[in-house]
């Protein structure tokens, strides 16, 4: 049986990532030139996204082990998740360092191959693990 804490932690990470991505889609569509209106929330969502990515590969390794699965066949893909998470994290940190985050920056972040790769990584591993 899945450790309830591990499942709660997994859900918290994936919820933060998905909520941020959905917010970013709406934010990008607004065409804001500066952080105004919903722009005040953009840094909060970016921070939550970045936090959810920290140590993601190690988290998945531990999570898979908590399911009493042999981690070996998952290890290479968890390495991919970790690499994509670190690469997406780097992009997010660069965006957060900007004095103002406009809609175009967020639109480009959404389109960033590392962010998209991470999302599809998570969709795949979630689908595989959800029935375990």
Q: Rounded CA gap, 52 and 70, in Å?
A: 24
Find where tokens 């066949």 sit. 73
Q: Rounded CA gap, 92 and 77, in Å?
A: 22
pLDDT at 105: 95
Q: Look up residue 38 and give its two tokens.
A: 């919903």
Q: How many domains does the chain have?
A: 1
Domain that holds residue 116: 4-129
For 33, other C-beta atoms within 10 Å of its C-beta total 11
pLDDT at 1: 47
Model confidence over 10-63: pLDDT tens digits? 889 999 999 999 999 999 998 888 877 656 799 999 999 999 999 999 999 999
In order, the DSSP letters of 31-73 are T-SSS-TTHHHHHHHHHHHHHHHTTHHHHHHHHHHHTT--SHH
Model confidence over 69-84: pLDDT tens digits? 999 999 999 999 999 9
Q: Supply the Cα-derived Rg of the chain in whole angstroms.
A: 16
């Amino acid at each position: 049986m899945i450790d309830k804490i591990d499942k709660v932690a997994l859900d918290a990470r994936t919820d933060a990532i998905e909520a941020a991505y959905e917010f970013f889609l709406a934010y990008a569509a607004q065409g804001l030139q500066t952080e105004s209106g919903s722009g005040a929330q953009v840094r909060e969502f970016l921070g939550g996204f970045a936090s959810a990515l920290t140590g993601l590969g190690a988290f998945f390794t531990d999570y898979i082990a908590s399911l009493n699965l042999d981690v070996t066949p998952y290890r290479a893909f968890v390495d991919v998740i970790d690499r994509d998470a670190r690469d997406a994290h780097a992009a997010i940190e660069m965006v957060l360092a900007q004095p103002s985050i406009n809609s175009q920056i967020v639109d480009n972040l959404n389109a960033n191959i590392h962010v998209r790769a991470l999302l599809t990584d998570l969709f795949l591993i979630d689908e595989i693990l959800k029935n375990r």
